[in-house]
Amino acid sequence: MHTGVVSPTIAAGLALLLAPDTAAPVAFVIGVIGPLIGADLMHLKDIENSEIAVVGIGGAGTFDGIILSGIVAAYLA
């Protein structure tokens, strides 16, 4: 499964289970915050360990996951 599909799928599933009345906004928040925390904030320590001044965090998979989370949340609405 493509990594960009995992975040919106999990976000929609959790939103439907945990908050069925407000599934769309909950799915959007989970789908956006999850990849940002997982791919970006959890790798901030890598900046200190890097020997160069540029560090790439996140990436295309993270961006795809965030965009698809918004699309899936819109379908839930």
Q: Domain boundaries in the chain?
A: 3-76
Averaged pLDDT for residues 4-10: 82
Q: Scan for tokens 């993270």, then name that residue.
A: 62
Q: What integer pLDDT is reported at residue 58 of this predicted model?
A: 60
User: Does residue 59 sit in helix, strand or coil?
Assistant: coil
Q: What integer pLDDT is reported at residue 53 of this predicted model?
A: 65
**Cα 20-11-4 angle, rounded to 5 deg:** 150
Q: What integer pLDDT is reported at residue 16 of this predicted model?
A: 94
Could you report the per-residue pLDDT of 28-69, keeping only the tens digit for each? 998 888 877 877 777 777 777 777 766 665 666 677 778 888
Which residues have CB under 8 Å from 25's CB, separation 6+?
73
Record the pTM.
0.71
CB 24 within 8 A of CB 77: yes
